[in-house]
Amino acid sequence: MTEHTTCLIAGGGPAGMMLGLLLARAGVAVTVLEKHDDFLRDFRGDTVHPSTVRLLDELGLGERFAALPQSALDRVAFPLGGGRVVTVADFRRLPGPYRHIAMVPQWDLLDLLASAAGEEAAFTLRTGTEVTGLLREGGRVVGARYRGPGGEGEIRADLTVACDGRGSLVRREAGLVPREFPVGIDAWWFRLPGASEHVTALTPRVGLGRFLVVIPREDFLQVAYIGRKGTDRELRARGVEAFRADVAELLPELPDQVGALESMDQVKHLDVRLNRLRRWHTDGLLCIGDAAHAMSPIGGVGINLAVQDAVAAATLLAGPLRAGRADAGALARVRRRRLLPTVVVQLLQRVMEKLLAQPMIQGRRLGPPRPVLALVEHLPFLTAVPARLIGLGLRSEHAPGFARRRPARSPRAGGTDPAPGP
Q: Which are the contacts of 130, defined by CB distance < 8 A and separation ≥ 6?
A: 33, 35, 146, 147, 148
CB of 230 to ligand FAD, least distance (A): 17
Q: Is 306 in the site for ligand FAD (CB under 6 A)?
A: yes
CA distance 38 to 345: 30
DSSP percent split of the chain into helix, strand, coil, nearest 5:
40, 25, 35
CB of 18 to ligand FAD, least distance (A): 8
CA distance 125 to 163: 14
**Among 29-37, 94-102, 312-320, 397-405, which window interacts with ligand FAD (CB under 6 A)?**
29-37
8 Å CB contact between 386 and 89: yes
CB of 419 to ligand FAD, least distance (A): 22
**Among 71-79, 157-165, 279-287, 379-387, which window interacts with ligand FAD (CB under 6 A)?**
157-165
Q: Is 408 in the site for ligand FAD (CB under 6 A)?
A: no
Sites for ligand FAD among residues 114-153 (CB under 6 A): 130-131
How big is the chain, counted in residues? Answer: 422
Please identify, using beta-carbon distances, which residue of 130 and 408 lies nearer to ligand FAD: 130
Please identify, using beta-carbon distances, which residue of 303 and 408 lies nearer to ligand FAD: 303
Please identify, using beta-carbon distances, which residue of 13 and 320 lies nearer to ligand FAD: 13
CB of 295 to ligand FAD, least distance (A): 5
Total residues at interface with ligand FAD (CB under 6 A): 35
Q: Which are the contacts of 128, defined by CB distance < 8 A and separation ≥ 6?
A: 34, 35, 36, 37, 148, 149
8 Å CB contact between 166 and 14: no
Please identify, using beta-carbon distances, which residue of 169 and 408 lies nearer to ligand FAD: 169
Measured from the Cβ of residue 219, the count of other Cβ atoms closer than 10 Å reads: 10
Please identify, using beta-carbon distances, which residue of 120 and 164 lies nearer to ligand FAD: 164
CB of 46 to ligand FAD, least distance (A): 6
Q: Is 284 in the site for ligand FAD (CB under 6 A)?
A: no
Of 26, 18, 76, 75, give the one whose Cα is nearest residue 52: 18
Pick from 25, 44, 205, 276 the residue near ligand FAD by CB under 6 A.
44
Please identify, using beta-carbon distances, which residue of 132 and 196 lies nearer to ligand FAD: 132
8 Å CB contact between 99 and 50: yes
Q: For residue 125, what are the CA distances in angstroms to 24, 116, 121?
A: 11, 12, 11
Pick from 60, 97, 284, 289 the residue near ligand FAD by CB under 6 A.
289
402 in the Ramachandran plot: left (φ > 0), alpha (ψ -120 to 50) or beta? alpha
φ, ψ for residue 126, nearest 5 deg: -115, 110
Q: Is 20 in the site for ligand FAD (CB under 6 A)?
A: no
**Beta pairing partners, 155:** 3, 144
- Contact footprint for ligand FAD (CB under 6 A): 10-16, 33-36, 43-45, 47, 130-131, 163-165, 169, 189, 268, 270, 289-291, 295, 297, 300-304, 306
